[in-house]
Amino acid sequence: MEGFVSWPAELAERYRHEGYWRGEVLGDIPRRTARGHGDRIALVDERRSWTYAELDDEADRMAAGLRQLGIQAGDRIVVQLPNVGEFVVLCLAAYRAGVIPVLALPGHRRSEIAYLCELSGAVGYVIPSRHGGFDFLGLAREVVAEVPRVRHVLVLGDSGEFTALASVTAEPEPLPALDPAGVAMLLLSGGTTGLPKLIPRTHDDYAYNVRASAELCAVDENTSYLVVLPVSHNFAWGCPGVLGVLRSGGKVVLAGNGSPAEVFPLVQREQVSMVALVPPLLALWSDARYRFDADLSSLRLLQVGGSKLAEPQAREALGTFGCTLQQVFGMAEGLLNFTHLDDPEDVVVTTQGRPLSPADEVLVADQDRSGRGELLTRGPYTLRGYYRAAEHNRFAFTPEGYYRTGDLVRLTAEGNLVVEGRIKDQINRGGEKIAAAEIEGHLAEHPSIQEAAVVGAADPVLGETICAFVRVSGPAPSLAEIRRFVQARGVAAYKAPDSVEVVDSWPLTSVGKIDKKALARSLAERGR
């Protein structure tokens, strides 16, 4: 596939020889249980449930339906569905047909989706008709007008002038043989420069990612896994996530949002044993624990990741939920670090765990005196290059093929990683990643903004929020005006600045660039 950087032949050979890559394809994940125990429940969402046999059969039919529409192996489709069972059916169908899903978030809007369609060369776009009060049909009209190559809009619900996803079904047929070393899907990176990059994940690499995570987390047929994060996020989809549970014969419960009022009764009803959370959601759950009388005693494992979990919060959660806590420091690019289920409490609350695979190579580069440096990594499930991004790849990877994570870490004596900060120009807003450059680009288009610099401001709940420093000509726009402006440009709401600071001049670095560290310090000094 043009634009995909594969592993060097010797390494690929080693990963196969050592049993990391087994030639499995992602579409086969639920098949074993579907054949042996087809009547077991695989999937539950707000409206219905699927047995393994139903899930398997519907995925086969949708795979045939995609092909009947003329969507072929190797074609890309941008998928923007919320936490609904159809997302799972569609992704399995696409994997089986060799169609490559590009996993977008429900919050993305015109600017992100049109860009993703363009960059991936997508022929299809899959949406709900409405979700969270937003009209996706309207968005789809804008997207197809801007990117005419998108020939198919498939809609869950009222399809208007487009194609109903429910109609994408046909008699199952023999499907093309797939190359397990080929690209199975494209995940989104948080991005550090402008818009997000696309991360190619192969069947071989992701099947290993899922299998090894499921083993580490002791997922089995008794696991009841609740999804409250967006299901299209790598954490919830494959670490071990939905796919890890489906390969083990367990049950996946999809929830629309993570609010305790909605989700605690679900935990009780579905006897949920495992869930993946970001730190702000864990805080919400901890606060609410004693305000609801739902029985949460089925919970066995709380996975927390996406942004840094503070030690006091981790200790509190252990006391509050009385089950195993696991820190997960991962990235859509590949590398996953987990604390282990039998780690001592101190390791669990003070570190972000260690690499999943014995074949993960990690380096801490340019260490300062305290041993803190940038985490570099390569391995059997870490990308070797972003998709169609030759230019960017030259500095995102070392000549030896290590991915520069942009995270500042140190290694403890026992080999666990502690995340100490980052050098990438990105904001981590409670687990959601925002490339500063992307927002700066939008702000610079505002008629009264001359120049903008976006930095993270410390926040007790989200960890960080987005602060926009702006130099203006004429009247300074208010925060509300700036937020309206950014969103009117078709940008996801979570990327709109949370605060604005107007400056007359910039602090500069020795090479004359805007000194963002100084800007962040000035916020910290004023307690912002």
Positions that interact with ligand OOB (CB under 6 A): 190, 234-235, 239, 305-308, 327-332, 336, 352, 405, 407, 419, 422, 428, 431, 433
Q: Please state the closest distance from residue 375 (CB atom) to ligand OOB, in A.
A: 8
- Give the Cα separation of 45 and 89 in Å (integer): 12
| CB of residue 406 to ligand OOB, shortest distance in Å | 6
Total residue count of the chain as it appears in this document:
528
The smaller minimum CB distance to ligand OOB, of residues 169 and 327, is found at 327
Region label for 274, one of left (φ > 0), alpha (ψ between -120 and 50) or beta (otherwise) = beta
Alpha helices in 322-365 (DSSP H): 345-350
The phi, psi pair for 401, rounded to 5°, reads 90, 10
Nearer to ligand OOB, 169 or 326 (CB): 326
Q: Which is nearer to ligand OOB, 98 or 334 (CB)?
A: 334
In the complex with ligand OOB, the residue whose CB is nearer, 205 or 407, is: 407
Strand extents, DSSP E, 267-314: 274-277, 301-305
Cα distance between residue 21 and residue 279, in whole Å: 32
Contact in structure between 463 and 279 (CB atoms under 8 Å): yes
Q: Which is nearer to ligand OOB, 169 or 416 (CB)?
A: 416
* DSSP-H helix ranges across 23-169: 31-36, 52-68, 85-97, 110-120, 136-146
Q: Closer CB to ligand OOB, residue 153 or residue 227?
A: 227
Which phi and psi angles does 363 have, rounded to 5°? -125, 145
What distance in Å separates the CA atoms of residue 350 and residue 315, rounded to the nearest whole number? 9
Which residue's entry shows tokens 């009780």? 268
Nearer to ligand OOB (CB atom), residue 401 or residue 477: 401
Integer Cα distance of 233 and 236 in angstroms: 6
Query: Shortest approach of ligand OOB to residue 237 CB, angstroms?
Result: 9
Q: Which is nearer to ligand OOB, 36 or 371 (CB)?
A: 371
- Among 421, 31, 450, which Cα is nearest to 246's? 31
Tokens matching residue 300: 């066995």
| Nearer to ligand OOB (CB atom), residue 353 or residue 490 | 353
Beta partners for residue 275, in sequence order: 226, 302
Round to whole Å and give the CA distance between 500 and 254. Answer: 36
- Angle among Cα 352, 492, 513 to the nearest 5 degrees reads 70
DSSP string, 273-321: -EEEE-HHHHHHHHHHTTTS----TT--EEEEESSPPPHHHHHHHHHHH
- What number of other Cβ atoms are within 10 A of residue 505's Cβ? 6
Contacts of residue 168, Cβ cutoff 8 Å, sequence gap at least 6: 62, 65, 66, 69, 154
Q: Which is nearer to ligand OOB, 178 or 332 (CB)?
A: 332
Q: Is the dihedral of CA 23, 177, 386, 497 positive or negative?
A: negative
Least CB distance from residue 269 to ligand OOB, whole Å? 27
Q: To the nearest whole angstrom, how small is the minimum distance from the Cβ of residue 356 to ligand OOB?
A: 10
- Amino acid letter, 230: P
With H, G, I as helix, E, B as strand and everything else as coil, classify residue 156.
strand
| Structural contact between residues 320 and 501, judged by C-beta atoms closer than 8 angstroms | no
Q: Which residue is nearest to ligand OOB (CB)?
A: 330
Q: Which ranges of 382-425 would DSSP assign to H, the alpha helix?
A: 390-396
CA distance 86 to 226: 16
DSSP 8-class letter at 494:
G
CB nearer to ligand OOB: pick between 31 and 422: 422
Nearer to ligand OOB, 33 or 405 (CB): 405
Separation of alpha carbons 108 and 340, rounded Å: 34
**65 or 106: whose CB is closer to ligand OOB?**
106
